[in-house]
Amino acid sequence: MKFIVKLRDGVEQMVPYQPGKPAEAVEREYGIKRAVKLASNENPYGPSPLVIKAIKKTSGQLGRYPDGSCYQLREALAQKFRCQPNTIILGNGTNELLILLGLAVLNKNDQVLTSDLTFVVYPKVAQLTQAELVTVPLKKQTYDLDKMAQAITDKTKLIFIANPNNPTGTALEPMQLIRFIKSVPTTCLVVLDEAYYEYMDQAFQTPSLEWVRQQSNLVILRTFSKAYGLADLRLGYGLVAPELYQAIERVREPFNVNSLAQVAGLAALQDQLYMEKCVKTAKKERTKLSQGLSDLGLKVIPSQANFIYVDISGIKRLHQPTGQACYEKLITRGMIIRPMPGPFVRITVGKPQENKKLLAAFKTL
Ligand SMILES: *Cc1c(COP(=O)(O)O)cnc(C)c1O
């Protein structure tokens, strides 16, 4: 029997997310031994040993539903950020929170404003809710806040800003950012996605947690997926006004954060030193990798995250100077990176050995 149920408006036009190929798949397909994946911006060292210990201790209880309120993790985050527990939202990754925020505020025909070439999930939120997506071009690979301010209309209901931006790695100047946020009508939600906050230099680290106290339409999103090395367990959090917290409570599913993620998040918070060590290594390696690629004649956009965005038009051995062609060459050498539109690729900063291997592979091109 043929499937003829009509999909919801807009779903036909949506495109499934294309994840980076897992290293094992590349090893199988190309007959390679140790493929290196530098495509999804994870912490190459994974979580703190305290996290592994905490998870091993809990796994006897999988038959029960988790604590839907995430009591302990919420309390720990509230303490860390000196805020009330009812201003923290938790989700199955920041990805889920992005969608929940859309479901909480967007009506059909509202406008969602963001940049082009930014996090792929933002357009999805608009498509899911049948809101209208409005995008503004990047300026020097960075969000163009002036043009975005000009693009605000009385239909603009939600603004997404990734800071630093994925895939370009660029960060906004804090004074300029707060000026923009204050200029947005208070009836419009501003979602500041700080998934890579921990990797930013101090001069770029905004006092966003103070801003959110003063600015009821501001949402700060962070994640355990990157610096804390917990991408697999899916755990993201956000700081919001209590009224928005209440709205998210209404729209979210009852058990959106599993107990292993809760336990892991709690343990990860208790080992800040481990996270800071990982970040320090990543920043050092980011500098070395950027320098190495520059020395080969490639243009590297200065990054404030754990990945770099590289213009590969300097490579002469490609039939076409596209990110896709570069990706295809590198994958046969066991290196998995992320192709981007035009002559660009995005490369996650890996362990020192992995970065060396990548530089060597680039050299052969
Ligand atoms: C990786 C990333 C996230 C984190 O997503 P999770 O669902 O928490 O893993 C959020 N925003 C941006 C821009 C990212 O690159």
Task: Flag whether pLDDT at 60 surpasses 80.
Answer: no
Give residue 84's pLDDT. 96
Task: Flag whether pLDDT at 251 surpasses 70.
Answer: yes
Task: Quote the CA–CA distance of 300 and 285 in Å, as a whole number.
Answer: 14
Give residue 18's pLDDT. 82
Q: Would the CA dihedral through 285, 288, 294, 296 be positive or negative?
A: negative
Ligand 1 is surrounded, with C-beta below 6 A, by 41, 93-95, 119, 162, 166, 193, 195, 223, 225-226, 231, 236
Percent of the chain with pLDDT over 70: 99
pLDDT per position as a tens digit, 3-24? 999 999 889 999 998 887 888 9
Give residue 128's pLDDT. 94
Task: Quote the CA–CA distance of 264 and 262 in Å, as a whole number.
Answer: 5
Which of 223, 257, 346 best tests ligand 1's pocket when mutated (most atoms within 8 Å of CB)?
223
Task: Flag whether pLDDT at 79 surpasses 90.
Answer: yes
Task: Quote the CA–CA distance of 264 and 277 in Å, as a whole number.
Answer: 18
ω into 164 cis (within 30 of 0):
yes
- pLDDT band for position 254 (50/70/90)? very high
Give residue 61's pLDDT. 79
Taking alpha carbons only, the member of 222, 353, 274 closest to residue 52 is 274
236's enclosing H/E stretch is: strand 236-239
The string of DSSP codes covering 142-183 is B--HHHHHHH--TTEEEEEEESS-TTT-----HHHHHHHHHH
Helix (H, G, I), strand (E, B) or coil at 80: helix
Which of 89, 92, 119 best tests ligand 1's pocket when mutated (most atoms within 8 Å of CB)?
119
Give residue 17's pLDDT. 87
Task: Flag whether pLDDT at 59 surpasses 80.
Answer: no
CA dihedral 304, 286, 28, 326 (to 10 degrees): 80
* Cα-to-centroid distance, 219 and ligand 1 (Å): 15
Task: Flag whether pLDDT at 318 surpasses 90.
Answer: no
pLDDT per position as a tens digit, 333-342? 999 999 999 9
- pLDDT band for position 354 (50/70/90)? very high
Task: Quote the CA–CA distance of 42 and 155 in Å, as a whole number.
Answer: 36
Estimate the share of the chain in helix, then strand, then coil, as percent rounded to the nearest 5. Answer: 45, 15, 40
* Cα-to-centroid distance, 317 and ligand 1 (Å): 34
* Cα-to-centroid distance, 163 and ligand 1 (Å): 11
Residue 258's Cβ-count burial label (10 Å; 0-12, 13-18, 19+) is middle
Mean pLDDT score, 60-82: 93
Mean pLDDT score, 109-118: 97
Non-local CB neighbours of 146 within 8 Å, separated by 6+ positions: none
